[in-house]
Amino acid sequence: MMKIWIALVLIAFAAGASAQTCTCETMKWATCEENPCSCTILIGDNRKQLLDCTQLIPKCYLMKAEMYRRSKGQSYRGFGGKPDENAIVDNDGIYDPECENDGKFRAKQCNNTDQCWCVNSAGVRRTDKGDKDLKCDKLVETYWVRLQLVHKPVTGEVATANLKAAIADAIHKRYRNFNKDLVDKVEYDPDSRMIVVDVKKEMGNRKSDLTHMAYYMEKDVKVLPLFKNQDKFEPTIGNQKLEMESILVYYVDEEAPTITMKHLSGGIIAVIVVVVLAVVAGLLVLFFARRRQNQRYNKAQQREMEAM
């Protein structure tokens, strides 16, 4: 009897001790202080943002923190870093955002410059860039995200029958109880190993947010998890674990974006020029090949004539 009591007391002690350790499971860069437990992240010199570590951290805070870490030369991977002053990285369209008090993006963003643009609730630019006087009357909500994932090769076939449930389950578990019902459609192409996941909410729904989950997943696949726990995002389908090798996120907003072709024209012109050049080159090759063939044919004909 005594032994049981001692064991119980020890267990209670251990439970109490573990409840006291104060960490931020949803943000590896956070610093936490105990009594009472509160966690913050640095988003500027002496600027701390208080975090709710029971939830995914709003993307706006995360981008701000990442920009600050970059400006300090701290690696946002938590490892490695700039090997040289001139080293460059592909910074995935990141900027230093303005956040609202609740962590939402300000509708108008300027990246600390005189050039401004309007963003959606995912912080993604949805208008042309303008000057400081640009008006963005409201933050337009992203109600649909498409996560286009490619998984690493696996042995055997992927059990597609359970794919949707398995993906929804993995998303629900990993991204802090993300509502499974919002996983609308999952499609799979075995040849390209591509999984297309459509996550969609009703237009007007302001209770659920899709963009934080999408951002965490993007980081999971492209860089390293934002979570304290560095386990990979690896949905289990049947008895197979699918490790992801790439991700592309599309955002669909409640209102269509107003980006005009003008700003895309550089890239599009380049593509058109390349295509036109390729076509011209192809035609030239064909033309000369034909001509040579004709010449040969003519010569052969001539010889035949002479022989006669």
Ligand X SMILES: *[C@@H]1O[C@H](CO)[C@@H](O)[C@H](O)[C@H]1NC(C)=O
Comparing CB distances to ligand X, the nearer of 54 and 91 is 91
Tell me how far apart the alpha carbons of residues 158 and 190 are, in angstroms, rounded to a whole number: 8
Comparing CB distances to ligand X, the nearer of 26 and 120 is 120
Query: Near ligand X by CB under 6 A, which window of 33-41, 90-98, 187-195, 299-307?
Result: 90-98
List the beta bridge partners of residue 198. 146, 185
Tell me the closest approach of the beta carbon of residue 71 to ligand X, in angstroms. Answer: 8
Gyration radius of the chain's alpha carbons: 28
Comparing CB distances to ligand X, the nearer of 111 and 179 is 111
Answer yes or no whether residue 73 interacts with ligand X by CB under 6 A.
no
Burial zone of 280 (CB within 10 Å; 0-12 exposed, 13-18 middle, 19+ buried) = exposed
Query: Near ligand X by CB under 6 A, which window of 12-20, 88-96, 249-257, 278-286?
Result: 88-96
CA neighbours within 13 Å on the CB side: how many for 176?
A: 20
Tell me the closest approach of the beta carbon of residue 259 to ligand X, in angstroms. Answer: 14
Comparing CB distances to ligand X, the nearer of 68 and 175 is 68
C-alpha distances in angstroms, 104 versus 94, 239, 289? 16, 39, 62
Answer yes or no whether residue 80 interacts with ligand X by CB under 6 A.
no
Query: Near ligand X by CB under 6 A, which window of 44-52, 87-95, 141-149, 210-218?
Result: 87-95
Answer yes or no whether residue 29 interacts with ligand X by CB under 6 A.
no
Q: Which of residues 154-173 bind ligand X (CB under 6 A)?
A: none
Burial zone of 167 (CB within 10 Å; 0-12 exposed, 13-18 middle, 19+ buried) = buried
Comparing CB distances to ligand X, the nearer of 91 and 162 is 91
C-alpha distances in angstroms, 242 versus 158, 224, 228? 9, 16, 21
Comparing CB distances to ligand X, the nearer of 91 and 294 is 91
Answer yes or no whether residue 93 interacts with ligand X by CB under 6 A.
yes
Comparing CB distances to ligand X, the nearer of 111 and 208 is 111
Q: Which of residues 48-67 bind ligand X (CB under 6 A)?
A: none
Tell me how far apart the alpha carbons of residues 233 and 46 are, in angstroms, rounded to a whole number: 33
Number of residues that bind ligand X (CB under 6 A): 4
Answer yes or no whether residue 111 interacts with ligand X by CB under 6 A.
yes
Question: Which position among 61, 68, 76, 95 is part of the footprint of ligand X (CB under 6 A)?
Answer: 95
SS3 per-residue string spanning 18-73:
HHHCCCCCCCCCCEEECCCCEEEEEEECCEEEEECCCCCCCHHHHHHHHHHHHHCC
Site of interaction with ligand X (CB under 6 A): 91, 93, 95, 111
